[in-house]
Every structure is written in structure tokens, then in C-alpha cells.
Amino acid sequence: MGAKNVFLKNVKIRDEFWEKEMELIRTEVIPYQWEALHDRVEGAAPSYCIHNFEVAARRNRKIREEKGAYQPPVYTTTGFCVWPESLERVEERFYGFVFQDSDLYKWLEAVAYSLVWHPDERLTAMADEAIELICAAQQEDGYLDTFYIINDLDQRFTDLRDHHELYCFGHLAEAGVAYYRATGKDKLLKAACRFADCIMEHLGAEPGKKPGYPGHEIAEMALMELYEVTGEKKYLDLGAYFLNERGKRPYYFDREHEVPLGEKDAERYHYHQSHIPVREQREAVGHAVRGVYLYSGMADYARISGEEEMAEACRALFENIYTQKLYITGGIGGTHLGEAFSFPYDLPNDTAYAETCASIGLVFFARRMLQLEEKRQYADVMELALYNGVLAGMALDGKSFFYVNPLEVVPEACHKDERKFHVKPVRQKWFGCACCPPNLARMIGSIGSYVFTETDDTLFLNLYIGCEAVMRKAGSEATVVVESKFPWSGKVNVCVEGDGKAKWSVAFRIPQWSGWTQETAVEKVRRQLDREAQITARDGYVYVKKSWGKETICLDFPMKAMLVQANDRVRETEGQVAVKRGPVVYCLEEIDNGKDLHRIRILDHPEFQETWGMIQGNKIIEIEGKGAVRTALSTRELYQEYRSNGYEQKTLRWVPYYTWANRGEGEMRVFSRILEEK
């Protein structure tokens, strides 16, 4: 059941926009992150990641220190591991967050994708060195988590709720699969399999095993991938086991933490999406990254198993995010409390969390939903998140990052208002909790695997990214070349070359923002093809079925700046509008529009002008339009009787949201009040 994604190796990106991003990842981001993981970037928060692996590898060689000499670390409320002040830093200790290992795995995954795109001896050497180090830390029984290897192996698998060893395993497995697929080298993949086998020895339904599951999801989807690449059903079964156990009563996490029954509310563990069994879940709740990673695993399982009940839960969860919990930027997570989804339509702009990893996870989920059923809303969301919430996470030079992606920023508030301390007005060089930067690197590096999905007789074009792809269709080889200038122009040429022997379909997504109906799209395509072609449309895709010789189809989606409003249940943006052009969301920045952006009004007929511009050497389309600013009050009183003060005309300049904060610190707004003309 379901569609496959077309593997990265079969898709060569030929796209001005994304090639630049991928080159940035290869030449700047990956080497920079290697330095960061080694704690060699001046002024950046330390990672300790490589340090921890080195210590664990040394431990592995030596007999473990006597337990009595061990003094346990203490944790801050955010889970950061610090050592009692009385103790000086000792080189042989674990430092940083308990999931620090995952940063190296994500980095390796990014290298794997980059090597597919561009062979690079230096990167290969770095990656092979990292893999040696990881394997040197692995225990004989396959166990591999530096926190417990360094601290106390007897404590492993005792805190699945908070201790992230299954999360680190998930990232290890994803890296192992990626590196194997990219290079054919299986050392890391084998390490992942050995860790999976070790996990199976300890967790599961059989007597003597713990009936546990991950506190932070990702192992579920990673196990599905491990199954697909190795063909070993035991990995699928373990992934399914984790999915099936989640939410069962009594809660495993209660047993593990000895929480007395009856304490707290009856339905807890929303944060971990463990409040109810996954098949019953309909609302996206809790920690947003965990949520979308879980839903991705569920969607994989639904596709592989063909189970309708699981598919139905996935559909409902996606729909819930899409209609009630999604920022216009493709961000998710309305509250920093628990880095979580908030209640429906609660999408504050200035306190938004919208973690970069959450947008990335949403792309994972959306792609997997496309594999379950080809409906354009999944690809629309994927595209939205990619060009906005994801890319905003990284500076244009690839050297600093956002963790949180707000839609409104006043720098003074970020510095002085504790409620906004999570919002940074400038990107950071690194983070103590550095989940986002290497996640970005692996996401951008693998962009080619999001363009298409395919079944035996249909190729779905989901994202209009320029590329060349080779595939087998209906028993013969076919080549598809996509020429695109997205996200700046809606013109796309798709050249298909087949041997003409069998009929198969190419299905083109009709982006929701294009305003094209299915009938319009069918008509536009029909005019370009001979009568033999069967052209139909459903769920936002135009299907063209024919025996393909060499043919080119031109699509010209209208891409122009428009005003967008949110559903009026979103209290935060009532009476406000944002500017969007095709898939790109725009924002106002202080550097272009002056201070006090809150006083700006957008006219309901702004007469946009679109021109090419440049930010930090990056070509963009910038937008100008007529706007207004409320005339400043002449008194200094805090309150006074209302009288209309009138407005002054002002030309407003918008730049793509993903480029904000690349020209120094300043205010930023995505939504502004509208001034409706009578």
C-alpha cells in the first residue's frame, strides 16, 4: 500500500535556489558544525558531543571506575546536566544534555546526503572518523548511549520517559541508513542494528523485559526505515510495539517513575503523546517535535502495514494541525511551555515557539502522509514549512541559527521580558541544546527526496524544485527533468522522456496558493498534449496518463503578492493581514520600515510592486506596497480621550520571512493591522 519516495540518489537537484542552499550546507554548515561539535567555535555554547563520545570510547577500553567513586550529576529544570559545583570539571565526565549524542548522528546524516549531492573527500574523512569514534564507544552487547556508558550502565533503560536513549538510537538508525544508502558503507548501519537488537533484549512484551517505549519519539520511524533497508521484520515489529504500547494504562512512565496511581489528573502525558493510545488520538498535543516525529512513525506504519485505523488517526492529526494549529509560516508549537502545541487557534505571534525542528518534523509527517495518500494539502504544508519555518532557522551565511521562530519581534522585549526570553532577536552561533542546527543540515541536504513520490504506474510531482530524475515506470526506464525558478516564479517546465511502450501517469500538484481549480489545471495541460493523453484531476493533482515519448508540459502558476488573513478564531491576528507570494511568507523589518512596526497599517489595496533585491548576496524578490502609519500623538500622557489622529502614507517594504534578522537586530512583524478603505 502507498507510494514510495523517490530515493535521493535518483534525483539530481538542478535548481538555483536549492543548489545554493545545498552548497552552503556542504561548504559551510557541515564543516562549521563539525567544529561546533568539537567545541572549537569561539563564543559558541559548548556542545561536548565529541568529548562525550571520546570519554565513552575510552571507558569502553578500560575497566569501569568503581561505582563508589561516582558522584551523580544534577539537572536543571530544562534537563541540562551540570555537575555539583564542589566538583571541578573532570575530563572523563559526561557534559551537556542527555541527548547530546543525537547531534553527531544528525550531522552524519547531513554528510551522507551531501555526499550524494557532491562527493567530497574531506567530508568523507570527517564522517568516517566520526563513525570510528561512535563504534569505539559501542558496548559489546550493542548498547550505545554515552550518558550511561560514562555514568552507570546499570541505570540504562530505567528512565525511558526523560532519558532519551531511544531518541539517540532513533537518530543513530537514521544516520546509519542514510550513510549506507549514500556510500554503501555499512559500519554505522550495523552499529544501529546492534543497538536495536540490544534494545529488543531489554524492552518488549516477553517475560523479563520492560514494556516501555520512547519518551521522545523518533525510534518509531527510524525502525520502519531500518526494516525497509535491512528487510528484517524484527525492526518493524519493535517499531509497532512502541506504537502499540504508547498510551496504554497503567502508564508505563508512571510505573517507571513510581508515580502513585490516582495522583495528578487521570489523563496525563499529553506532553509525550502518551495520554491515550495512538489510534485514538485526534488532536495534536504536547511537545510539538515529539508529536510530529510520532505521527511520522505512525504514518510509516500505516503505509507499511496497510492498517486503516492507524491511517485514520494520522489523517485526523494532520487535519487538526492544518486547520487549527499551524502558523502561516509552517511553524508549529504555540507555546514555549513544554515546547508544545497550544489549544486550537492559539497562535500567538510574539511568544510563538515554532521550533525549527518542529517545522522539519512537520515536513517529515507531510511527506509520509503523501506516501499514504496523494492529497495536495500535504505537499502544500511541506512546501510552506520548507520555504518559511525551516529556512528561517538558519542565517543566510549558514553560521548562526534560530531555535524559536517568532512571527513578531521587538528586541527590547526579548531582552527584558521573561515571558519572551525564549525568543531571540538574532540567530545564535550554537546552543547548549543544539537539536535544530544539524536537523536543518540533514533536512536541506535531503531536499531531493521530497520532490517526488511514486507508485508503480504514477509519478507524483509534489514540489516544484528543478531536478533530473531517473526511474522505472511500468517496466521501463524514464527520465523526468523539472525546470523551475521557484520560489520566485510560478513557471515550471516538466520534460518527460519514456520509451513509449507502456502507459503510465505523471501527476502534478496544483498548489493551493495558485488559485487554480482542478478544471483550470486540466484545461491548461490538455492544450499541450495530443488526444491520446488521458487527463483527469483529483485531490489537487492533475493526472496525465499516456505512453510517454519525449514531451514537455509547461505550467505557469500565478505567483503574485497577496494579502492573507487567518481564520477569525485566531484571536492574535484578528484585523491583521500578512503578505504572501506563492509559497513564500513575507515580513516587515525595522531596517526597511523604521521602528514601531506596530503602528503600521496595511491598505486593503496595497498595489504591490515586486522587484529583485539582494540580502547578504542572496537574490530575493522584495515587495513594496502602499501603507500607512498612525500619526503619532503629540502628548506624552499614557491615556487620553480617544480622537482620530489620522494616518500618514508610507511605502512599506517586505522581505521573505526566511531572510529576516540577517541585517542586524531590529523589530520584525509578519502580521500587521489592515486599514480598510471605505
The partner in contact with residue 303, picked from Zn ion, ligand FUB, none with C-beta cut-offs of 5 to 8 angstroms by kind, is none
Q: Does 81 bind ligand FUB (CB under 6 A)?
A: no
Instruction: For residue 214, say if its preceding peptide bond is cis, omega within 30 degrees of 0.
Output: no
- CA–CA distances in Å: residue 637 to residues 205, 634, 641: 69, 9, 10
Nearest C-alpha neighbor of 425 from the set 440, 403, 399: 403
Q: Tell me the CA distances in angstroms from 425 to 248, 272, 403, 597, one per residue in order.
A: 42, 29, 11, 15
- Biggest alpha carbon distance in the chain? 82
589 binds, among ligand FUB, Zn ion, none (CB under 5 to 8 A by kind): none
Nearer CB in complex with ligand FUB: 78/640: 78
Select the residue interacting with ligand FUB from 339, 374, 383, 408 (CB under 6 A).
Answer: 339
Residue 274: which of 326, 200, 209, 216 has the closest Cα? 216
Site string for ligand FUB, 349-378 (x = CB under 6 A): ------x-x---------------------
| Binding residues for ligand FUB, total number by CB under 6 A | 8
Would strands 600-603 and 672-675 be described as parallel, antiparallel, or unpaired?
parallel
Answer with the entry of Zn ion, ligand FUB, none that 189 interacts with (C-beta below 5 to 8 A by kind).
none
Distance between CA atoms of residues 292 and 317, nearest Å: 9
Integer angstrom CA distances of residue 602 from 255, 465, 669, 677, 678: 55, 32, 12, 10, 14
Q: Which helix (H) or strand (E) is 600 found in, with range?
A: strand 600-603
> Taking CB under 5 A as the rule, does residue 435 contact Zn ion?
yes
SS3 505: strand
Taking the least distance from each CB to ligand FUB, the nearer of 31 and 73 is 73
Distance of CA 76 to the CA centre of its chain: 27
Residue nearer to ligand FUB on the CB measure, 99 or 318: 99
C-alpha cell at 464: 516544484
Candidates 357, 369, 385, 463; binder of Zn ion (CB under 5 A) is: 357
- Tell me the C-alpha to C-alpha distance, in Å, between residue 19 and each of 25, 84, 445: 10, 47, 10
Q: Does 179 bind ligand FUB (CB under 6 A)?
A: no
433 binds ligand FUB (CB under 6 A): yes
**Under rule CB under 6 A, residue 404 binds ligand FUB:** no
Which of the listed partners (Zn ion, ligand FUB, none) does 270 bind, with a CB threshold of 5 to 8 Å by partner kind?
none
Calculate the CA 355 to chain-centre distance: 9
Applying the rule CB under 6 A, the residues between 190 and 219 that interact with ligand FUB are 216
Q: Which does 194 bind (CB under 5 to 8 A by kind): ligand FUB, Zn ion, none?
A: none
Binds 339: which of ligand FUB, Zn ion, none (CB < 5-8 Å by kind): ligand FUB
Instruction: Confirm or reject binding of residue 584 to ligand FUB (CB under 6 A).
Output: no
Q: Among residues 193, 384, 407, 436, which is the contact residue for Zn ion, using CB under 5 A?
A: 436
590, interface contact from ligand FUB, Zn ion, none, CB < 5-8 Å by kind: none
Q: How far apart are CA 96 and CA 297, in angstroms?
A: 28
φ, ψ at 237 (rounded to 5°): -65, -40
Q: Which residue is nearest to ligand FUB (CB)?
A: 289
State the nearest-atom distance from the C-beta of 355 to Zn ion, in Å: 5
C-alpha span between 437 and 441 (Å, rounded)? 6
Closest CA to 603 of 579, 585, 581, 622: 579
Q: CA dist 27 to 23, 32, 235, 399, 611, Å?
A: 6, 9, 35, 11, 29
> Looking at the annotation, which residues are catalytic?
339, 435
Binding-site partner at residue 216 among ligand FUB, Zn ion, none, CB < 5 to 8 Å by type: ligand FUB
Over the window 317 to 356, marking each residue x when it contacts Zn ion by CB under 5 A and - when it does not, the resulting string is --------------------------------------x-
317 vs 440: CA distance, rounded Å? 24
- Residue 438 CB, nearest distance to ligand FUB (Å)? 11
Cβ proximity to ligand FUB, 216 vs 581, nearer residue: 216
- 461 contact, one of ligand FUB, Zn ion, none, CB 5-8 Å limit per kind: none
Residue closer to ligand FUB (CB basis): 357 or 661: 357
Residue 321: CB minimum distance to Zn ion, A: 18
At its nearest, how many Å lie between ligand FUB and the CB of residue 385? Answer: 16
Alpha-carbon 120 to chain mean position:
26
Cα–Cα distance measured from residue 378 to residue 56, given in angstroms and rounded to the nearest whole number: 42
Residue 302 interacting with ligand FUB (CB under 6 A)? no
Asked whether 602 and 674 are in contact (CB, 8 A), the reply is yes
Nearer to Zn ion, 357 or 542 (CB): 357
Binding letters toward ligand FUB, positions 488-527, x by CB under 6 A: ----------------------------------------
The minimum distance between CB 102 and ligand FUB, in angstroms, equals: 7
215 vs 448, beta carbon nearer ligand FUB: 215
Q: Does 289 bind ligand FUB (CB under 6 A)?
A: yes
As measured in angstroms, the least distance from the Cβ of 435 to ligand FUB is 4
CB of 356: closest distance to Zn ion in angstroms? Answer: 5
Output b/e per residue, 515-526; b: 16+ Cβ within 10 A: ebebeebbebbe
| Interaction mask 463-492, Zn ion, x per CB under 5 A | ------------------------------
Backbone angles phi, psi at 544, to 5 degrees: -115, 110
Q: How many residues does the chain have?
A: 678
**Binds 130: which of Zn ion, ligand FUB, none (CB < 5-8 Å by kind):** none
**Residue 174 found at the interface with ligand FUB (CB under 6 A):** no
Residue 358 vs 542, nearer CB to Zn ion: 358
Contacted by 243, from ligand FUB, Zn ion, none: CB < 5 to 8 Å by type: none
Binder of ligand FUB out of 81, 127, 435, 478 (CB under 6 A)? 435
User: In angstroms, what is the minimal distance from the CB of 293 to Zn ion?
Assistant: 11
Distance, in Å, from the CA atom of 349 to the CA atom of 449, rounded to the nearest integer, reads: 31
For residue 476, give the C-alpha cell.
Answer: 521501463
Calpha distance 175→663 (Å, rounded) = 34
Identify the residue whose cell numbers are 567530508. Answer: 123
Residue in 643, 609, 638 with CA at minimum distance from that of residue 626 = 609
Q: Do residues 227 and 246 lie in contact, with contact meaning Cβ atoms separated by under 8 Å?
A: no
Cα–Cα distance, 72 to 149 (Å, whole number): 14
If the CB atoms of residues 360 and 670 are measured against ligand FUB, the closer one turns out to be: 360
**In 398-519, beta strands by DSSP E:** 408-409, 452-454, 458-461, 467-473, 476-484, 491-497, 503-509
- State which of positions 97-136 bind ligand FUB (CB under 6 A): 99
With binding defined as CB under 6 A, does residue 171 bind ligand FUB? no
Size of the site for Zn ion (CB under 5 A): 4
The verdict on 45 binding ligand FUB (CB under 6 A) reads: no
* Residue 470 vs residues 4, 147, 486, 498, 522: alpha-carbon distances, Å: 14, 44, 21, 10, 25
Which spans of this chain sit near Zn ion (rule: CB under 5 A)? Answer: 355, 357, 435-436
What is the binding site for ligand FUB (CB under 6 A)?
A: 99, 216, 289, 339, 355, 357, 433, 435
